[in-house]
Amino acid sequence: MVELLHVGQWPELYRLMVAQKFPDVPPRYSEAVPYFEKAHVYGVLEGSRLQVGFVFGPPEDGVAFFDVVCAASEQGKWATPAVLRTLFEVAFKDMKLRCVWIQPATRKALKAGLAAGFVPATPLDVRQPILVMTTGLLPRKFRQENQEERHNGKFV
């Protein structure tokens, strides 16, 4: 499941970003550390191996960008309702954000963002549109209260 990455796991996140040709990655790990110190980084591990990294950028006035980097073997597999629910809980409950935004780099990522409930903040036909999520826009299936309303698998 999703867990906070500690400083000892940051090099693996950096290597994953480099391997996946993540945009704007500094050429050396030492240059990425100051950014990791300001960001909120989470991941999904298989044993001790990082499979998916989640980065909430440094919050500004309750707003942060969100990005995902994953091993090639995890592309299209990581975005389960349980993982997304946990990430939204981190953003809106733990970090107390008002808004999370993403900027999908591919059509596939754009489709995934829209399917997760993010809504366009820019036209979708631009090179890298911006999508946003707020607590008010959060799809019901990802709201924490839905988990608390269930009793024996049924809403009560």
User: pLDDT at position 148, please?
Assistant: 45
Q: Is the pLDDT of residue 47 over 80?
A: yes
User: pLDDT at position 65, please?
Assistant: 96
Lowest mean per-residue pLDDT among 42-46, 75-79, 122-126, 130-134: 75-79
Cα gap 89→8, rounded to integer Å:
24
Q: What is the average per-residue pLDDT within 53-58?
A: 96
Q: Is the pLDDT of residue 156 over 70?
A: no
Q: Where are the chain's structural domains?
A: 2-147
Mean per-residue pLDDT over the chain, rounded? 90
Lowest mean per-residue pLDDT among 4-18, 35-49, 77-91, 135-149: 135-149
What is the pLDDT confidence band of residue 85, given thresholds at 50, 70 and 90?
A: very high
Tens of pLDDT along 13-44? 999 999 999 888 999 999 999 999 999 999 99
Contact partners, residue 92, CB within 8 Å, separation at least 6: 100, 135, 138
Lowest mean per-residue pLDDT among 14-18, 75-79, 85-89: 75-79
Give the global pTM. Answer: 0.87
Q: Is the pLDDT of residue 121 over 50?
A: yes
Tokens encoding 135? 């607590």
Which CATH number is 2-147 given?
3.40.630.30
Q: Is the pLDDT of residue 155 over 70?
A: no
Output the CA–CA distances (angstroms, integers) from residue 151 to 66, 147, 148, in the order listed: 32, 9, 8
Q: Is the pLDDT of residue 141 over 90?
A: no
Q: Count how many Cα atoms sit within 13 Å of the Cα of residue 77 in the half-sphere of its side chain.
A: 10
Tokens encoding 98? 């008002």
Cα gap 122→132, rounded to integer Å:
10
Q: Is the pLDDT of residue 144 over 80?
A: no
